C-alpha cells in the first residue's frame, strides 16, 4: 500500500512538472499558449486584401503585365500611411522610371534603392538587409526575386532563400513583399494558382501570403488580382471574387491602376471571338450616341476607357 502511494505521488509529481525548454524549443502549457495568443494585437492591413503587417508576401504574375507598377502603387499607399518603405528596384532603369512617373509627388517615407553597378554586393540579400536596416525601413519590397541570385528551379535553393527572408522578417519585425514571375503558359488562359510561381513547392510552404496578378482577356489594359494564399485569415479574393484594375496614368502623369470593382476569374480567362467584339463595338457606339462619356461607357461595359476610345475611332 505504501509502495503504491509512493508510485502515485511520483507519477503526480511527473505530471505536474514545470515545462523545460531545450533543443532549440520553448515549451509552455497549451492553455498559456492560447491565453498569450488571445492577447496579441489585432492584424493590421497595410493594403486591403494584399499586404498584412509582419507578413512575408509574394506578388506574382507574367512579365510585362504591370507587376512593378502595381507593387509601386501598393508601396506608395503604405508609405502615405506613415510607414517607412524601402523599394528595392532591380527592374526599372532611371529612364523607365521617368517615363512612368511624370510628377515627383511621392511621400518622403517612400525610399527607392537600386543596385550600385560599380560596387555590386557579393551577397544581394545581405546588402538588402544592411541598407534596409540603415534606413529604418518598416516595409521592404524586393523587385524581383531573381535579383537574389539563387536558382528557384532547385528546391533546396528556393527553401534556403525563403528561410533567410523569414529570418530577416522576424529579426527586424519587417513586412516583406517580394515579386516573382510565372511561366508563359500562364498567359491569361490558365487560372492563377500557387503552382504557377517559380520555385513554387518550397516557396509555398514558407510564405504567409501569395497574390497573383494576370492580364484580362477582355481588355489588354485590365488586370485582375487574386489571393492564392492568405495564411492569417480567410480568402476574400478567390476565383469567384477577383479585384479588377485598369492600367492608366493619373492627372499628374503617374502610371498606376484604378479599381474597376470585382468579377470572377473565369470571365477574364475567356477569349473574345469576332462576334463578341462586334457586339461590344456596337454597344459602345450605341451608348456614345446617347451622350454617355467614355468613362461611363467603360464602367458600364467593364472595359477600359482606352478600349472605348479605340472602338469609337474604328
| CA-to-CA separations, 251 to 103, 248, 256, 262, 305, in angstroms, rounded | 10, 10, 11, 24, 15
Contact 225, 38 (CB under 8 A): no
Q: What pLDDT is stored for residue 9 in this prediction?
A: 63
Q: What pLDDT is stored for residue 234 in this prediction?
A: 85
Q: What pLDDT is stored for residue 38 in this prediction?
A: 94
CATH topology of domain 45-269: Rossmann fold (3.40.50)
Going from N- to C-terminal start, the domains of the chain cover 2-38, 45-269, 274-313
| Cα 262 from chain centroid (whole Å) | 17
By DSSP bridging, strand 222-230 and strand 110-113 are unpaired
Q: What pLDDT is stored for residue 185 in this prediction?
A: 58
pLDDT along the chain (314 residues), means of 10: 61 76 93 95 94 96 92 98 97 93 96 89 92 98 86 70 94 96 68 76 86 91 95 91 95 95 89 63 84 81 78 82
What's this model's pTM, rounded to 2 decimal places? 0.80
Cis peptide before 71 (omega within 30 of 0): no
Q: What pLDDT is stored for residue 150 in this prediction?
A: 61
Q: How many CA atoms lie within 13 A of 79 on its CB side?
A: 22
Amino acid at each position: 500500500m505504501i509502495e503504491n502511494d509512493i508510485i502515485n505521488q511520483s507519477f503526480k509529481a511527473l505530471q505536474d512538472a514545470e515545462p523545460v525548454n531545450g533543443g532549440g524549443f520553448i515549451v509552455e502549457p497549451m492553455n498559456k499558449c492560447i491565453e498569450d495568443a488571445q492577447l496579441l494585437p489585432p492584424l493590421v492591413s497595410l493594403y486591403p486584401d494584399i499586404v498584412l503587417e509582419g507578413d512575408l508576401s509574394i506578388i506574382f504574375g507574367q512579365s510585362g503585365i504591370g507587376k512593378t507598377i502595381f507593387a509601386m502603387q501598393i508601396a506608395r499607399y503604405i508609405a502615405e500611411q506613415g510607414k517607412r518603405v524601402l523599394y528595392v528596384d532591380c527592374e526599372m532603369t532611371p529612364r523607365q522610371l521617368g517615363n512612368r512617373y511624370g510628377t515627383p509627388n511621392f511621400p518622403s517615407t517612400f525610399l527607392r534603392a537600386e543596385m550600385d553597378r560599380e560596387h555590386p554586393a557579393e551577397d544581394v540579400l545581405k546588402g538588402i538587409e544592411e541598407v534596409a536596416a540603415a534606413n529604418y525601413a518598416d516595409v521592404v519590397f524586393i523587385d524581383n526575386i531573381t535579383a537574389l541570385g539563387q536558382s528557384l528551379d532547385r528546391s533546396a535553393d528556393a527553401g534556403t532563400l525563403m528561410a533567410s527572408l523569414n529570418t530577416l522578417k522576424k529579426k527586424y519585425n519587417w513586412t516583406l513583399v517580394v515579386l516573382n514571375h510565372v511561366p508563359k503558359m500562364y498567359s491569361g488562359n490558365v487560372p492563377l494558382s500557387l503552382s504557377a510561381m517559380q520555385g513554387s513547392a518550397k516557396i509555398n510552404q514558407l510564405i504567409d501570403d501569395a497574390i497573383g496578378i494576370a492580364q484580362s482577356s477582355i481588355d489588354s489594359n485590365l488586370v485582375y488580382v487574386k489571393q492564392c494564399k492568405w495564411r492569417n485569415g480567410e480568402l476574400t479574393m478567390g476565383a469567384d471574387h477577383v479585384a479588377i484594375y485598369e492600367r492608366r496614368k493619373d492627372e499628374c502623369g503617374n502610371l498606376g491602376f484604378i479599381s474597376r470593382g470585382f468579377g470572377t476569374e473565369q470571365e477574364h480567362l475567356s477569349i473574345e471571338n469576332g462576334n463578341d467584339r462586334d457586339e461590344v463595338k456596337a454597344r459602345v457606339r450605341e451608348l456614345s450616341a446617347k451622350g454617355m462619356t467614355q468613362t461611363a461607357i467603360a464602367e458600364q461595359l467593364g472595359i477600359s476607357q482606352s478600349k472605348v476610345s479605340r472602338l469609337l475611332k474604328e
